[in-house]
Amino acid sequence: MGKLFFIINLLMFTSLITACSDEVDFQSSLSKVSQSVEDIDPSTLPPEEPGGGGGQQPPNIEPPIVVNPRPPGEQQLLETEEVFQQKLITNAVDILIVEDTTLSMHNDRWTLHQKFDHSISNLGNLDWQMALTSTDLGKNRLDGSLIKFDNHGTTILSSISKNALDKFTNKIGFDHCNENDFVLGWGDLGCSLDGHHILGASVKAIEKNRNIFRPKANLAVVYITDEDEAAKGKDYQTTPNDVISAVRTYLGEVDFKAYGVIIQPGDSACLEQQKLPFVDPGAKYASVIEQLIQQTGGDSVSICNNDYSELFRHIQGNAAGELQTNFILMNANPLDAVVQLEPPQAIDYKIDGNILMFNSPPASGTKISIKYKHERN
């Protein structure tokens, strides 16, 4: 029994010694590991994971949206169609003359018949017709009505009228205050002293007499005045765009051009000449009228000239005109262009930048359609 107790105690002592030895080895290992960590260069360590440390959960980061790029060379193209109308060439022209019948035109009216002496012959072979109105607007005034050229009530002269020049020049020198009261230019005081609505009178005449204008004829409106639109004030002033709009409203898409026998802007010598007979000068540069002339592609002559007939040569030239070969596109460098002509015509063409160019002009009135692709602007 004593031996057994001894053996048991010996075993317990041996176990205690072994455990102590293991503890010493563990502490020694920890010491070695700690020493090894201190010897590591921090720059050689991998980066710390986001959100690491402190026991916090990492934030919920959405993955980036990746847009696949368009393959190199691929373009985003749009399809476009444009339509053009070749100028309608006709030898027909309708001429509306708007004459200033105010006091400041007193002396000019006396010589008008002489200064239009070659007007009819300068129209050449045109199929023309002509009407005349005055600037006198309002109640009991001409107010856009047409002047009668003879006792038969003729208000339209034409290329087939007998004695057309005589009828025209006999009436151009009169005041035309209303439909029944015509006063010779050199013996009157004018129809009115103010209310210079030169452009407004043309709008009124076009509206009032729209049925006399031919659908496919060119339109030429001639203004004869030594003043400008609403020179005495801005009330009811008619603008060039108002005239253009009225033509489109009442006559449709006709080829309209304005012309003038006027004091051309900047012609100071003519301005002074027109002012001479009056203490209260009425003469003005026709700036607004000239603006309409420029916008429509017409022409003008100086009211101080000795002959106004040249203006009718310009009307003849513009009415005859030339057909277009070039048409401007809205977009440059079109792709896959397809051009169609109605009626069909075998005409070669090319496109340079944004200009469609035909080798020869399409026929008068041709509808020109072009479909093409282009980059988004």
Structural element, H or E, at residue 299: strand 299-302
Mean pLDDT throughout 292-308? 94
Q: Which position has the higher pLDDT, 107 or 355? A: 355
Fill in the DSSP letter of residue 343.
S
Q: Which pLDDT does position 215 carry in this prediction?
A: 87
Q: What is the pLDDT of residues 159-178, one digit of tens each?
A: 999 999 999 988 887 666 66
pLDDT for 86 = 85
The predicted pLDDT at position 104 comes to 79
- Spatial CB neighbours of 341, under 8 Å, sequence gap ≥ 6: 347, 362, 366, 367, 368, 369
Question: Average pLDDT over the chain, rounded to whole?
Answer: 79
Angle, in degrees to the nearest 10, between helices 198-208 and 240-251: 10
Residue with tokens 């009307």: 315
Pick the closest to residue 308 from 106, 173, 159 (CA basis). 173
| pLDDT exceeds 70 at position 203 | yes
Least confident of 143-157, 193-207, 222-236, 309-323: 222-236
Q: What is the pLDDT of residue 62?
A: 65
Say which range, 14-18, 48-52, 298-302, 342-346, has the weakest mean pLDDT. 14-18
pTM for this one?
Answer: 0.63
Which residues are CB-contacts of 178 (< 8 A; sequence separation ≥ 6)?
136, 140, 141, 142
Model confidence band, residue 141 (pLDDT cutoffs 50, 70, 90): confident
Looking at residue 236, what is its pLDDT? Answer: 64
Across 43-57, 219-233, 247-261, the highest mean pLDDT is recorded for 247-261
Q: What percent of the chain lies above the pLDDT cut of 70?
A: 70
- At 110, is the pLDDT very low, low, confident or very high (cuts 50, 70, 90)? confident
> Would the pLDDT of 66 be above 50?
yes
Predicted confidence (pLDDT) at residue 192 exceeds the cutoff of 70 = no
Question: Which of 6-20, 43-57, 219-233, 266-280 bottoms out in mean pLDDT, i.e. has the lowest?
Answer: 6-20
**Contact in structure between 259 and 223 (CB atoms under 8 Å):** yes
pLDDT of residue 78: 92
Domains belonging to the chain, first-starting first, are 92-320 (3.40.50.410), 324-375 (no CATH)
Comparing 3-17, 60-74, 233-247, the range with the smallest average pLDDT is: 3-17
- Tokens 């020694």 correspond to 28
**Angstrom distance (rounded) from CA 213 to CA 140:** 25
d(CA 87, CA 363): 9
80: pLDDT strictly greater than 90: yes
Burial class (CB in 10 A: 0-12, 13-18, 19+), 23: exposed
Give the mean pLDDT of 311-322.
84
Encode pLDDT of 230-275 as tens digits: 755 556 689 999 999 999 899 987 889 999 999 999 999 999 988 8
Query: Which residue would you say has higher pLDDT here, 195 or 88?
Result: 88
Instruction: Determine the pLDDT at residue 211.
Output: 95
